[in-house]
Amino acid sequence: MKLLVVEDEPMLLEAIGKKLEKEKIQVLLADSAKKGFKFLTSEKKLPDAIWLDYYLKDLTGLDFVIELKKNKKWADIPIIVVSNSASTEKVNSMLALGVNKYLLKANFRLEDIIKEVSNLIKTNEKDTCR
């Protein structure tokens, strides 16, 4: 399993990184949208899923997803938004853009989020196989 995590808060990024490492999950840690796109373009193997925050240094999660969906190669990567800002408006527009899941950061333990991501990847794989 390979994940791209886009999170501008270094402490949170670090925690996520450590936890995924412990769980033996390959992870690309990006503290900005720009870095995220860099990974996507540079990496030979695309990540199985993207863990995305809403507010980023350089872009909003919304803009990131819009950019992502523009590229055919990346458009099918499942996205899970983990943000502390989850107004209905934001959630609905993200889901409308094709985001698979929107979680409120403070309400979830890392383990639970990882479980959600794994499930997401599994369903996505099933869908793709079909």
Partner 1 sequence: MIKKISFFKSVFLLFGFIIIISGTIITLNIAKNTKKNITTNLLHFSESVAAAINPQRVKTLTASSLDNNNPDNIRINQQLQQVQTYLKTQGIRWSYLVFQKNNQFLFSASSISSDDPGYSKPGDIYKDPPLELKKVFQDQQSIVSQPYQDEWGEFVSAFIPIKDFSTGELLAVIGFDIDYQYIQSQVNHQIISPIISTIFIFIFYLIISFLIFRQLNQTDALRESEERFRLAVNAAIDPVIMMNQEGNITLWNKAAEKTYGYSQKEALGKSLHHLIIPSQKYNIDHSINLKSFKQTGQSPVFGKILELETISKTGKIIPIELSVALIKTKNETSAFGIIRDISIRKEHERLLIQKTNSLKEEKEKTEVLLSSIGDGVLAIDQNFKITYANNVAQKLLGWTSKELIGKDVYDNITVKDGTNKTIAKKKRALSLAVKSGKTISSSIINPVYYVRKDKSKFPVAITASPVKLNGKFSGAIDVFRDITHEIEVDKMKNEFISLASHQLRTPLSAIKWYTEMLLNGDAGNLGPEQSNFIGNISISNQRMIELVNTLLNISRIESGRIIIDPKPTDLKELISNVVGEFKSKIKEKNQKIIININPNLKKVNCDPKLIFEVYKNLISNAIKYSPKKGEIQIFVSSDKDSVISQITDNGYGILKKDQSKVFTKFYRGENILKIETEGTGLGLYLIKSIVESSGGKIWFKSEENKGTTFWFKLPLKGVNQQKGEVSINN
- Give the total of residues touching partner 1 (CB under 8 A): 25
Nearer to partner 1, 71 or 87 (CB): 87
Of residues 34 through 73, those in contact with partner 1 by CB under 8 A are: 54-55
> In 1-130, which ranges are continuous DSSP H helix?
10-22, 33-42, 61-70, 72-75, 88-97, 110-129
Instruction: Identify which range of 13-21, 37-45, 63-71, 119-127 contacts partner 1 by CB under 8 A.
Output: 13-21
Query: Does 128 contact partner 1 by CB under 8 A?
Result: no
Report how far residue 21's alpha carbon sits from residue 25's, in angstroms, rounded to the nearest whole number. 6
- For residue 9, give both structure tokens: 């808060």
Instruction: Identify which range of 38-46, 58-66, 79-87, 120-128 contacts partner 1 by CB under 8 A.
Output: 79-87
- Residue 109 CB, shortest distance to partner 1, in Å, is 5
Backbone angles phi, psi at 26, to 5 degrees: -70, 130
Nearer to partner 1, 77 or 86 (CB): 86
Close Cβ partners of 82 (under 8 Å, ≥ 6 residues apart): 7, 51, 52, 53, 103, 105, 108, 113
Query: Does 96 contact partner 1 by CB under 8 A?
Result: no
Q: Closest Cα to residue 57, out of 10, 101, 100?
A: 10
* Binding residues for partner 1 (CB under 8 A): 9, 11-12, 15-16, 18-19, 22, 54-55, 83-89, 91, 104-107, 109-111
